[in-house]
Amino acid sequence: MSQLAKWFLIYTKPRQEQCAKDNLERQSYECFLPLISVQKIKLGKCVEAEECLFPRYLFIHLIVGVSNFSPIRSTKGVSHLVRFAGIPTQVPDYLIEALRSRPVQQETLFSPGDQLKAIAGPFAGLDAEFVKLHQNKNGEVRAMVLLDFLAKQQRVSLPLSDLQSA
């Protein structure tokens, strides 16, 4: 049997990727959980959060023929080792290296030029073009948009909760 370390794929329980990773690492397994930075609206404010790049998936480094695969399936947060035709799925090293070396990405809520629709407030039903995020005097994060209003484009600041992608 080969003594080379290979990467394998684990399917986790819903929203348990970090729990599974922590518990596997406590058992001395090497794991990799690629994350992405995203903007989300929470309580009317735009906040930065980290999410899994591949929800419910986690990579684990094992030595075929040496590493004990048995404890993996009973680890808290783990659903099962991904298999095809009963054989654990190996992930190529170059893919893991590419994921590890990728620049930190940020998924933004809206990008400049995005077409939006006002869904609430005094401008509900109007189309808008996203310009930028900004904070008002009270610290609330709002969206600066261009609205076609009164026969010309008007710059308007709207709460994020009043907007959705068109």
Of 57, 70, 1, the C-alpha closest to 29 is 70
Of 58, 44, 48, the C-alpha closest to 138 is 44
Reported pTM: 0.63
- Number of residues in the chain: 166
Domains and CATH numbers, the chain: 5-107 (3.30.70.940), 115-165 (2.30.30)
Q: DSSP 3-state assignment of 133?
A: strand
Indicate the pairing of strand 106-107 with strand 35-42. parallel
Query: What are 22-50's pLDDT values in tens digits?
Result: 999 999 999 999 988 777 767 666 677 78
Per-range mean pLDDT, top range of 53-67, 95-109, 128-142: 53-67
